[in-house]
Amino acid sequence: MSDLTKPATVLALDAGQTGVKTRLTRPDAAPVERLFAGVRTDQPLLPQLAAVTREAASGVPLDALAAGVSGLTSVEHDAGELRALLHDSAPGRVLLAHDSVTSYLGTLGDQHGVVVASGTGSIILAVGPAGVARVDGWGYLMGDAGSGYWLGRAALDAVMRAHDGRGPATALTEVVSSRWPELEDAYVQLQSDPAKVSVIAWFAEAVAARAATDEVAARLCRDAAEELALSVVTALRRAGADGAPVVSAIGGVFRGSLVREAFEEAVRAVHPGVRFEAPHGTGLDGAAALADLPAAHPLSALVSSAG
């Protein structure tokens, strides 16, 4: 990281739909971490971040506010607007980035490599000699290949194929039937469920748990691993990575041993010298790191700054 002096009082935000984690760091006190309700995608984002900032700062003047935000769009990627919303107590600097950037910084720091995050969704970010490359993270309707949603959706498809006689029998049928005893009514109930994305993603854990004994579940895990490996290899190529890149895989999908093993095997087939590293920190650590990210670092171009 930079050897520049870090701002004395920093509020870091790691904002997602399931929760907003905050860390207030002051030179004269121990860091204070809090958890707030997640951001709402059906409401303007920046006012929500401003409200969390006011509550988390508790009246303490901030030298810097550094936020990593899930689903940050180009329209909302404006640190100046966020700083203006905090006009009554505007921080000296405001730094705003997509959470893929802060996830990378929290996971690998400022070194070159690639971070693949696969939970409900999936997104891959690589940093190399040619710059920064983002792959996927396009949401459940247009992307997120190999994600928890992707696995859950594939599991439901496999169950209904087995039900129709179009596919092999699978132990996943029992899992789906435990939620919807009448399988032929399941699709109607699911389509009308406002939480359908998280409901579908929930089945990914059942797929991983049955991969050792059910061939259908095993195939789905291998398919997910191949998708994630393809995204990683693509990101590394676009970032100009060398033959021994650093790869860190995070997120709930990688808790499945078959997914992780098949993923590593597929990446190693293209990059035999690859090094797989455990995360060095968290997304909240990455948000805090925005405050002293060197201006020359490739990721700086993806950070909106004001002040």
pLDDT by residue (tens digit) across 220-254?
999 999 999 999 999 999 999 987 999 999 999 99
Token readout for 40 is: 């709402």
Find residue 132's DSSP bridge partners: 127
Question: What string of DSSP letters covers 161-196?
Answer: HHHHTSS---THHHHHHHH-SSHHHHHHHHHT-TTH
Q: Which DSSP state fits 298?
A: G
Helix axes 183-191, 196-209, angle to 10 degrees: 140
Mean pLDDT value of segment 160-185: 97
- pLDDT reported for residue 292: 86
Kindly indicate the confidence band of residue 5, based on its pLDDT and cuts at 50, 70 and 90: low
Amino acid at 273: G
| Mean pLDDT of the chain, nearest integer | 92
Mean pLDDT value of segment 51-62: 93
Strands lying side by side in the sheet with 275-276? 131-136, 122-128, 113-118, 246-250, 275-276
CATH 3.30.420.40 residue window(s) in the chain:
10-104+282-306, 110-279
Residue 7 has pLDDT above 90, yes or no: no
- pLDDT reported for residue 113: 96
- pLDDT reported for residue 73: 84
Residue 2 has pLDDT above 50, yes or no: no
pLDDT by residue (tens digit) across 111-161?
999 999 999 889 999 999 999 999 999 989 999 999 999 999 999 999 999
**3-state class of 242 per DSSP?**
coil
- pLDDT reported for residue 247: 97
Does domain 110-279 correspond to CATH entry 3.30.420.40? yes
Is the separation of the CB atoms in 20 and 51 below 8 Å?
A: no
Q: What is the pTM of this model?
A: 0.86
Question: The domain at 10-104+282-306 falls in which architecture?
Answer: 2-Layer Sandwich (3.30)
Q: What percent of the chain has pLDDT over 90?
A: 79
- pLDDT reported for residue 16: 84
3 vs 22 pLDDT, higher one: 22
Closest of 95, 103, 11 to residue 301, by C-alpha: 95
b/e code 237-275 from CB counts within 10 Å (16+ = b):
bbbebeeebbbbbbbbbbebebbbebbbebbeeebeebe
- pLDDT reported for residue 76: 87
Pairing of strands 131-136, 246-250: unpaired
Residue 67 has pLDDT above 80, yes or no: yes
Please give the Cα distance from 163 to 183 (Å, whole number). Answer: 8
User: Which secondary-structure segment (H or E) carries 236?
Assistant: helix 215-238
- pLDDT reported for residue 19: 86
